[in-house]
Structure 1
């Protein structure tokens, strides 16, 4: 039985809908544009008209506003699926409990660790943080290299930071860099909060002169599997909202 749902009609009659998107046209013109027969165009127009995505005008058939939006929405859906497929290797064997907005991955820069370049994801984080005036960070993993990076930016470049992390990371930080941690907090440019949320991720929202940018690092075990970077407004809004929720639920940490 043929699926008559609007989504199924769009998928089934995509060629005709794209041909209509080029401008109003007759049935014959649409058949030429789509490279299909007149009978196929007739059936496509009938189905698309039934769901309200096509209308007939004196200039020819044209898509309605919902029809144009349906086409662009379908194309965006495909782009998102392709973007998710591109980052899928980073999440193999990794359990993530956070709700991550797909916008984080759409149009993103993806840097995967390889045996020959295991630190490339960490270099990508350094690039994001390198021009930041403020960083909002959640991390469930401790890396000495990241700790040094943030300390140098805070103490030498005047970057400010709000960090939400787990008790385990705080213990590692206090044990390995106690003086740096005390100095950073004492400077007034850093605040740290504990969270019980233990995820194999680091999420950095960097405020830069060019605007906000989000960097996400995925870990498997203690190693960084890859980096995803994006400055799309939807991606940075997600990172900001995530940090605000975790910050509000966290408890203050004072190493002094």
Structure 2
């Protein structure tokens, strides 16, 4: 382990080392090309290349320097670590609210996701971001333990304008909407449309996930249920996970019925 840490420290002491090794993994370079691509000076390149040759990470050829098999192994690890750290830094602000056990994809997939958090002037900014994505989409799927007033109103109008909607909501979410006369009427209106289908999940719905065309949005809440952020991405792996998750709950859920829409009030 000590030798591994020493090699990690060797690479970390200079950003040029990682840049040079990555460049030589991508293609053979002479020293002039390496200097142009990495910005390293010729004396610095000389030291780096000698150190790399001592470790058998690179070798010199008639066309320049190229990475060896072990050099490529190290470069791949550097790239993976760099990508993981970049994703962690991007997500650090919201990491405590990410439901890691319920996400069926590598968090690195959210490394370039759009994060929207509440502000003093826009406390509902996360919901607003999801609503904007819904308005711009042709087809929307939602799986959620809540159906808030703002989203319901927008979905009703959006479906009337030609959007296609498939929603799976927890029984508690449907009950909460049905108990409010105005919201219950909007839900009836939505259910009556030809382009909207709503199903009720009797089992627990752990996440609030929206798939608006190719973009997946997650609404993140704290332990007290307060909305803390929305995270959205068009990463294909995340979309595949979200679609499969929605389909699984859809198949297990039952159709929304008239009795679900009957208020107890």
User: How far off its partner does 1:203 sit?
Assistant: 1.2
Match of 1:180 among 178, 182, 186: 186
**Residues 1:232 and 2:235 are matched in the alignment:** yes
User: How far off its partner does 1:121 sit?
Assistant: 1.1
Runs of 4+ in 1 over 4 A off after TM superposition: 4-13, 29-34, 64-70, 93-96
What TM-score do the two structures reach when normalised by structure 2? 0.74
Q: Secondary structure at the match of 1:14?
A: helix
Distance verdict in 2 for CA 1:227–1:46, change over 3 Å: same
Match of 2:244 among 210, 231, 241: 241
Name 1:129's counterpart in structure 2: 134
Distance verdict in 2 for CA 1:114–1:149, change over 3 Å: same
Within-5 A mapping of 1:160-239: 160-176=164-180, 177-189=183-195, 190-199=197-206, 201-207=207-213, 212-220=214-222, 221-239=224-242
Q: In proportion to residue count, which structure has more helix? A: 2
Distance verdict in 2 for CA 1:226–1:94, change over 3 Å: same
What TM-score do the two structures reach when normalised by structure 1? 0.77
Distance verdict in 2 for CA 1:34–1:241, change over 3 Å: farther
Which consecutive residues of structure 1, in runs of 5 or more, have no partner in the other structure? Answer: none
CA distance in 2 between counterparts of 1:65 and 1:242 reads 40
Distance verdict in 2 for CA 1:161–1:187, change over 3 Å: same
User: How far off its partner does 1:232 sit?
Assistant: 2.8
Q: Secondary structure at the match of 1:97?
A: helix
Q: Secondary structure at the match of 1:2?
A: helix
Within-5 A mapping of 1:1-256: 1-3=2-4, 14-18=18-22, 20=24, 23-25=28-30, 32-33=41-42, 35=44, 38=47, 41-49=49-57, 54-63=58-67, 71=75, 74-75=78-79, 77-92=81-96, 95=99, 97-101=101-105, 102-154=107-159, 156-176=160-180, 177-189=183-195, 190-199=197-206, 201-207=207-213, 212-220=214-222, 221-248=224-251, 250-256=252-258
User: How far off its partner does 1:74 sit?
Assistant: 3.3
Q: Secondary structure at the match of 1:217?
A: strand
Q: Secondary structure at the match of 1:17?
A: helix
User: How far off its partner does 1:15 sit?
Assistant: 4.8
Confirm or deny: 8 A CA contact 2:91 2:111 kept in the other structure.
no
User: How far off its partner does 1:2 sit?
Assistant: 0.8
CA distance in 2 between counterparts of 1:112 and 1:81 reads 21
Which consecutive residues of structure 2, in runs of 5 or more, have no partner in the other structure? Answer: 259-265
User: How far off its partner does 1:86 sit?
Assistant: 2.6
Distance verdict in 2 for CA 1:70–1:44, change over 3 Å: closer
User: How far off its partner does 1:128 sit?
Assistant: 0.2
Confirm or deny: 8 A CA contact 1:216 1:229 kept in the other structure.
yes
Confirm or deny: 8 A CA contact 1:132 1:206 kept in the other structure.
yes
Moved more, 73-82 or 169-178: 73-82
CA distance in 2 between counterparts of 1:5 and 1:245 reads 48
RMSD: 3.5
User: How far off its partner does 1:254 sit?
Assistant: 2.0
